[in-house]
A and B are shown apart, each in its own frame.
Chain A
Amino acid sequence: MPDAFSSPNQVRESLHDQGYVCSSEIATITYLSDQLDKPLLIEGPAGVGKTELAKVVAAATGRELIRLQCYEGLDETKALYEWEYAKQLLYTQLLRDKLQEVLASAGSLAESADRIAAEENVFFSMRFLLQRPLLKALLSPEPVVLLIDEIDRADAEFEAFLLEILSDFQISVPELGTLTARVQPLVFLTSNNTRELSEALKRRCLYLFLNYPELEQEIDVVNLKVPELDGALTRQAVEMVQGLRNLDLRKHPSISETLDWARTLAVLNAERLDRGLVSDTLNVLLKHERDLKRVQQRLEPMSGDGPEYQGPEDEDDHTRYL
């Protein structure tokens, strides 16, 4: 199979073209995953761009993205394939006359059985196989990107069931035999780490831990996605969000929330961050009542003389707001 990427740098550039700012680590590991034909397991807090990475890789390589969202109780009939029983029954009914014909000339019972057996393949063929995401990804004639999202939500036995697919890119369907991938897909698995995944699954994957981005990197992201926001204000807003991540909150603001907030500020035509504006728009960043209260309290001491942003000279002072 032709590899999707030719070097880590190329990964980086083509992802950047899709609007995804990635570190050299992400680029290198993505490249390795493609080179070694190994699934990539991405872990990290919610909203750091785990799913997004798979999407932009699909877009960058021009491949179709096939997504399997995991949940408690997901089983192979939902993930892999299912026979279309209703259709099979319908066909048997409709083809009854034809079957009679086939059997009519048969001399003995044994011969009729043989003839029926010869036609068996008609009913257990791809025609009646309902393809679910995993099978679709394997059988696709074009190379695809397979995203298995939030694998930690699925049950442990589903993990075990994935092992064959992830290591050999093949699955066994009892009636049809073993189906092997025509073109090996790029596989991404994401996990929010709500539970430990099994060693066997991890062994088959490369591992990437995505954390909240560094200041400069996050500024790049905001600049790329919300170009209409003023540069200085972007920096100030991102600094504040980074400060919030150091607080003891139930849920820290993620990148997507930073972006939402940046868009909010842009829509409001904000020129500077002051206390009133921050406390009015804080609910875009924080989604828990307790977190909101806690941050509001931090803002409180500033209320006396209407503090305003003093200009770029006190850049490091963003913690003041917190």
Chain B
Amino acid sequence: METRLMQFARALRAAGVPVSMAETVDAAGALTALGIKDREPFRISLRSTLIKRTIHLPVFDELFPIFFDGKAELPPDMDNALENLSDEEAEQLALALSQLKDNIADALRRLLRGEPLTRQDLNQLAAMTGLDRARNMRWNEWMVRRMQAALQHDSVRRAMAEIAKLLEQVGFSKERLDELRAMLQANIEAETGQLQNFAGQRITDNMQARPASEDVEDLLHAPFGRLGEDEMNVLRQEVRRLSAALRSRISLRQRRQKTGTLDLKSTIRRNLGHGGVPFTLSYKRRQKKPRLVVICDVSTSMRYCTELMLGLIHAIQDQISRTYAFAFNDHLEYITPDLAHGSAQEAVDRVLVRMPPGHYSTDLGGSLAEFDREWLDLVNHRTTLLMVGDGRNNFRDPETGIFQEMARRCTRTIWLNPEPPMLWGTGDSDMNEYLPFCDHVLQVQTMAELTAAVDELLTR
């Protein structure tokens, strides 16, 4: 059981769930307390000890049956359809089968007899269909379909229909034929089940044998525009890690800050050594409550990096409770409620579904005007204003007056632009118009630059 548990933990890790050694030990402890006889308590013990985040619960629910229902080891439940046939019927069937192509006839005969696939057959199939290289559960269904194709399930069904006609002509009884057909269908289903279990098992084996690579360093310096899906996944994780690092940094900074009124108790405590004579004074810490207004461009020109940018805003919002996030393409929308619940991925998807990028519809100036009308009271002396976008405005009015007013009202204005400075001001870019009003303009083309930008944002 311990080995199985360790394997399960490894597979969970490979699927992206952080499972520590201590948690595996807890799981073993829970199993000792509750026993492994009943499935439900067993499942709950593992779930409550190994999984600590809501978003990982589905992964657990997917992997658990594959590991512990033990179906992959058992031969599937198949019946021999041929043993009840009379000699005459068997002869007629053999004759009908001889009309078919050899390989199809063999496959049909095997399925009618209900011979399950052996370990060796399965291994061969795995090598043939590329299952050996699959390391992600989402390939499961696809692999099963490929194996079914290799086993010619569809052709076998068609062949059965063909020989059914032949058999009827030679006087095979109708009930017998229906029975035969039903059993074939049942056997095919049982075999599909076997394939599904096998595929799931094999993929999890592959996952634990070669966990996902953690080669983040190179990715950090790759431009957003050139990233593939897998690389995006790694970067999403990196954004999460970044947000955790931010948290401790923020709280440290708040801790060191010294303002506020005299803290009498703390002063007495510190001066007990001096017989209660207050040599050193201590002050109450005032919670710094920074307010952040983020305005993010989600238009087509930004498409390649909006997802990461929104992911980052989600992370920031998690850390700074007074974050007001807006997104715009042809108009401005308040997106904080969308980002407030669910995982980063879900939240970002929600925003992107609500605000699909259109063609040449970006209206930065108009969005600023809208902000000015509806939301300007959010910007005050505590506010840091964070603009994320390329400053491309489709030759519309850039509304620099409004931007100047916003920049004047807030403590700091930071602009994150994914384009290199040499492109600013070319074409429909109004970046140079906004430039004078920003305290910091940072180019963020890579994850490393984004990390540096966030540090800049939070450490001053």
List the B side residues contacting A294 at CB < 8 Å.
none
Q: Write the B420-438 contact mask toward A (1 if CB under 8 angstroms, else 0).
A: 0000000000000000000
Query: How far is the CB of A101 from the nearest CB of chain B, in Å?
Result: 20
Contacts A36-B26, A156-B247 hold; do A209 and B57 have CB atoms under 8 A apart? Answer: yes
Q: Write the A81-117 contact mask toward B (1 if CB under 8 angstroms, else 0).
A: 0110100110000000000000000000000000000
Interface centre among A77, A195, A206, A208 (most CB of B within 10 A): A206
Does A314 count as interface, using CB distance less than 8 angstroms? no
Does B221 count as interface, using CB distance less than 8 angstroms? no
By beta carbon, the residue of chain A nearest B287 is A73
Contact check, A156 vs B49: say whether CB atoms are below 8 A apart.
Answer: no
Does B18 count as interface, using CB distance less than 8 angstroms? yes
Contact check, B48 vs A29: say whether CB atoms are below 8 A apart.
Answer: yes
Contacts A24-B40, A85-B272, A89-B276 hold; do A32 and B54 have CB atoms under 8 A apart? Answer: no
Contact check, A83 vs B48: say whether CB atoms are below 8 A apart.
Answer: no
- Cα separation A31 to B34 with both chains bound (whole Å): 9
- Place the interface of chain A in its size category: 35 or more
Query: How far is the CB of B42 from the nearest CB of chain A, in Å?
Result: 10
List the A side residues contacting B341 at CB < 8 Å.
193
Does A157 count as interface, using CB distance less than 8 angstroms? yes
Does A202 count as interface, using CB distance less than 8 angstroms? yes
Does A280 count as interface, using CB distance less than 8 angstroms? no
Does B380 count as interface, using CB distance less than 8 angstroms? no
By beta carbon, the residue of chain A nearest B255 is A157
Does A315 count as interface, using CB distance less than 8 angstroms? no
Among B41, B51, B244, which residue has its beta carbon within 8 angstroms of that of A198?
B244
Contacts A32-B33, A250-B337 hold; do A196 and B244 have CB atoms under 8 A apart? Answer: yes
Among A8, A38, A193, which residue has its beta carbon within 8 angstroms of that of B41?
A8
Contact check, B34 vs A28: say whether CB atoms are below 8 A apart.
Answer: yes
Q: Give how many A-B residue pairs fall within 8 Å (CB-CB).
A: 89
Q: Write the A164-178 contact mask toward B (1 if CB under 8 angstroms, else 0).
A: 000000000000000
Contacts A25-B44, A36-B26, A38-B26 hold; do A196 and B33 have CB atoms under 8 A apart? Answer: no
Contact check, A193 vs B269: say whether CB atoms are below 8 A apart.
Answer: no
Does A119 count as interface, using CB distance less than 8 angstroms? no
Q: Which B220-276 residues have C-beta < 8 A from chain A?
A: 243-244, 247-248, 251, 254-255, 265, 268-269, 272, 276
- Cα separation A206 to B34 with both chains bound (whole Å): 14
Query: How far is the CB of A24 from the nearest CB of chain B, in Å?
Result: 6
List the B side residues contacting A194 at CB < 8 Å.
321
- Cα separation A280 to B172 with both chains bound (whole Å): 71
Query: How far is the CB of A131 from the nearest CB of chain B, in Å?
Result: 16
Among A35, A83, A198, A207, which residue has its beta carbon within 8 angstroms of that of B269?
A83
By beta carbon, the residue of chain B nearest A29 is B48
Among B29, B40, B247, B318, which residue has its beta carbon within 8 angstroms of that of A36?
B29
Q: Which A1-50 residues have C-beta < 8 A from chain B?
A: 8, 24-25, 28-29, 31-32, 35-36, 38, 41, 43
Does A317 count as interface, using CB distance less than 8 angstroms? no
Query: How far is the CB of A260 from the nearest CB of chain B, in Å?
Result: 23
Contacts A82-B265, A85-B265, A156-B251 hold; do A203 and B40 have CB atoms under 8 A apart? Answer: no
Does B445 count as interface, using CB distance less than 8 angstroms? no
- Cα separation A38 to B27 with both chains bound (whole Å): 12
- Cα separation A206 to B52 with both chains bound (whole Å): 8
Does A199 count as interface, using CB distance less than 8 angstroms? yes
Contact check, B34 vs A32: say whether CB atoms are below 8 A apart.
Answer: yes
List the A side residues contacting B29 at CB < 8 Å.
36
List the B side residues contacting A83 at CB < 8 Å.
269
- Cα separation A218 to B47 with both chains bound (whole Å): 24
Among B48, B51, B243, which residue has its beta carbon within 8 angstroms of that of A32?
B48
Does A205 count as interface, using CB distance less than 8 angstroms? yes
List the A side residues contacting B321 at CB < 8 Å.
194
By beta carbon, the residue of chain A nearest B250 is A156
Contact check, B243 vs A199: say whether CB atoms are below 8 A apart.
Answer: no
Contact check, B26 vs A195: say whether CB atoms are below 8 A apart.
Answer: no
Q: Which A residues have a C-beta under 8 Å from some C-beta of B?
A: 8, 24-25, 28-29, 31-32, 35-36, 38, 41, 43, 72-73, 77, 82-83, 85, 88-89, 155-157, 193-196, 198-199, 202-209, 250
Q: Which B residues have a C-beta under 8 Å from some C-beta of A?
A: 18, 20, 22-23, 26, 29-30, 33-34, 40-41, 44-45, 47-49, 51-54, 57, 243-244, 247-248, 251, 254-255, 265, 268-269, 272, 276, 285, 287, 318-319, 321, 337, 341
With contacts A29-B44, A36-B30 known, what are 14 further pairs, Cβ within 8 A? A25-B44, A28-B48, A31-B33, A32-B45, A36-B26, A72-B287, A73-B285, A82-B265, A89-B276, A156-B247, A196-B243, A203-B23, A207-B48, A207-B49
Cβ-closest 7 pairs across A and B: A202-B52, A35-B33, A85-B268, A28-B44, A206-B48, A207-B52, A29-B48
